[in-house]
Structure 1
Amino acid sequence: MTEIHEFAGRTLSDTSSALGEGPTYDPDTNTVWWFNILGKELHELNLSTDEKKVHALPMMASVLARIDARRQLLATEQGLFVRDTANGNLTFYAALENDKPENRSNDGRTHISGALWIGTMSKRAETRAGAIYHVAAGKVTKLFDGISIPNSICFSPDGSTGYFTDTRLSRLMRVMVDPQTGLPTGEPIVLVDTMDETGGIDGSVVDADGYIWNARWGAGSVDRYSPDGLRLARYKVPAAQPSCPAFVGPNGDRLAVTTAWEGLDDDARSTQPQAGALLELGITVKGIFDPPYVI
């Protein structure tokens, strides 16, 4: 039976994002990074000082992967770019569906091999217009095609299992992965099927024990699943559209989640003023940090 927990957390940042997404944490600087995709913004929050910065971007972007202290890899609607952390300058790195200007990047995450999995989707959310790619040392390889809204890209701690979903179908997929390369070694199978439930499976992270933490878009919750697909707990959040969680804090023992107000009318937004904020669940977790991308 699924445990239900009321929200016991707080707002980390009330800077409202139409589509908050792609949160990640840099333990070297104690900084949370995330995007407002539709607003073409990169957000930065230092947890030591509470200093908040918003960096304007020239295009929509959705995923940030740390390379080293000076560089970050950004997945954007115009491909992959290396960002200089000192001045924000962007340098083109690799093409990603440059023959499909109607598409943009969406969910993604780095694997322990140093590779990146990154999903794409139609800017108008057209059915089956997107895909999921593997990027290693600048080489881009298509893994899965015909995906409408790619999300929940994450990996088991040992790198041997990958997860992903098409939020429109709301089935969490599991696939075996080579820990050395980040490439699939088998065919995906359905681990969790929630197609008949309210909302849809959005972004996910996996903790140190292999449990999957999933933001359920449209249901105002973060769900915790066992590695064999059993939903163990549901943590409510004061925003109907949570998009992706991230382990934060020097010990990775806190859980933040991005949210969105995209598509909400005035009445809906008035009842959930924290929609679009970066929230913290207020619970203790056993998180692990996203590995750096190996350039």
Structure 2
Amino acid sequence: MAETHKFLGTVLDSTQLLLGEGPSFDPITNSIWWLNILGKELHELDPATGKKTVIALPFKASVVARIDDKQQLLASEDGIFIRDRATGELSLHADFEPGKPGNRSNDGRIHQSGALWIGTMGKKAEDGAGAIYHVAKGVVTTLFDTISISNSICFSPDGATGYYVDTRANQLMTVPLNADTGLPTGPAKVLIDRAGQKGGIDGSVCDADGNIWNACWGVGAVDRYSPAGQHLDRYEVPALQSTCPAFFGAAADRLAVTSACEGLDEATVQANPLYGATFDLAISVKGVLDGAYRV
């Protein structure tokens, strides 16, 4: 039985985002980056100084990753873009779902090989409209299709195991990978089955011991699972719709979590000023920072 921990953390950013998602720590800027998908915004926060920057985007983006000190990668409804850090200029790198204007990008993460796994979904969350793709140096490979709500993309510390979920099915899948490429070497199988249970499996990260830290949508919590799928801990957060965790800090020993107000009525949002905010769980973790995308 998992141990439940009350929220003893702090608020990193109190902005009530409609759909806060895709947080990651960039060691180049020493800042946390994340997206307000539906608000078409890229957010940056220096956790040491509290300096906050919000960048307007021309599309709904869901993943931000570092390339180098001059460029970032953005996954969006219009494709994969390279962003110039200095000017903000965007250039198309790969169109992973041409001819599907009804879809947008959702969860994604950089594998240790430097490739991107990126999931999609219908803009109205239509059944089976999305998929999960592998993007390496601009080359797109379809990994899994007929996904309704792609989430929980993360990788074991050695890069030899991948995880993902269709939140509508609510079964966290595990799949063996070629650690050098991030491509599957065998079939996926169910690791954690929460079908029919309260709380959707949303975004996840893997720590240095291979434990899976998952934001549970609809219950306001981050769950920690062992590599074998055992539910070890539940850390509560003061936002019902917790969306994705991220390790941050130079030692990757802290854990941030984003949240969302999507689908909630105005009275509920106003009555709960931390719904949609971004938090520091204020616990010590053995995290691993995501790598850089290789162009």
- Confirm or deny a common fold (TM above 0.5): yes
C-alpha distance in structure 1 between counterparts of 2:29 and 2:251, whole Å = 13
- What's the CA shift string for 1:242-285, capped at 9, x where partnerless? 10000011111100001000111133224421111111111110
What residue identity is the alignment partner of 2:100? K
Who is 1:258 aligned against? 258
Shift of 1:196: 2.1
CA contact (8 A) 2:259 2:276 kept: yes
Structure 1 unaligned residues grouped into runs of 5+: none
Who is 2:274 aligned against? 274
Larger displacement relative to structure 2 (43-52 or 149-158): 43-52
What residue identity is the alignment partner of 2:158? D
C-alpha distance in structure 1 between counterparts of 2:206 and 2:20, whole Å = 20
Asked if residue 146 in structure 1 is aligned to residue 124 in structure 2, the reply is no
C-alpha distance in structure 2 between counterparts of 1:12 and 1:77, whole Å = 27
Report the secondary structure of 1:268's partner residue: helix
C-alpha distance in structure 2 between counterparts of 1:271 and 1:213, whole Å = 28
Once the two structures are superposed, the pairs formed by residues 151-162 of structure 1 within 5 Å of their partners are 151-162=151-162
What residue identity is the alignment partner of 1:127? D
Shift of 1:27: 1.6
Aligned-residue CA RMSD (Å): 0.8
Aligned length: 295
Asked if residue 64 in structure 1 is aligned to residue 64 in structure 2, the reply is yes
What TM-score comes out, normalization by structure 1 length?
0.99
Who is 1:137 aligned against? 137
Percent of residue pairs bearing the same amino acid type: 61
Once the two structures are superposed, the pairs formed by residues 201-240 of structure 1 within 5 Å of their partners are 201-240=201-240
C-alpha distance in structure 1 between counterparts of 2:31 and 2:64, whole Å = 13
Once the two structures are superposed, the pairs formed by residues 1-295 of structure 1 within 5 Å of their partners are 1-295=1-295
CA contact (8 A) 2:199 2:219 kept: yes
Shift of 1:85: 0.8
C-alpha distance in structure 2 between counterparts of 1:228 and 1:252, whole Å = 23
C-alpha distance in structure 1 between counterparts of 2:77 and 2:290, whole Å = 22
What residue identity is the alignment partner of 2:111? H
C-alpha distance in structure 2 between counterparts of 1:80 and 1:219, whole Å = 32
C-alpha distance in structure 1 between counterparts of 2:216 and 2:120, whole Å = 19
- What's the CA shift string for 1:24-53, capped at 9, x where partnerless? 001232100000000000000012321100
C-alpha distance in structure 1 between counterparts of 2:15 and 2:215, whole Å = 19
- What's the CA shift string for 1:111-130, capped at 9, x where partnerless? 00000000011001000000
Report the secondary structure of 2:250's partner residue: coil
Larger displacement relative to structure 2 (279-288 or 266-275): 266-275
Structure 2 unaligned residues grouped into runs of 5+: none
- What's the CA shift string for 1:127-148, capped at 9, x where partnerless? 0000000000110000000000
Report the secondary structure of 2:269's partner residue: helix
CA contact (8 A) 2:16 2:273 kept: no
Report the secondary structure of 2:48's partner residue: coil
What residue identity is the alignment partner of 1:95? D
C-alpha distance in structure 2 between counterparts of 1:102 and 1:8, whole Å = 40
C-alpha distance in structure 1 between counterparts of 2:253 and 2:294, whole Å = 25
C-alpha distance in structure 2 between counterparts of 1:242 and 1:271, whole Å = 17
Report the secondary structure of 1:201's partner residue: strand
C-alpha distance in structure 2 between counterparts of 1:41 and 1:64, whole Å = 11
C-alpha distance in structure 1 between counterparts of 2:204 and 2:289, whole Å = 13
Larger displacement relative to structure 2 (21-30 or 262-271): 262-271
What TM-score comes out, normalization by structure 2 length?
0.99
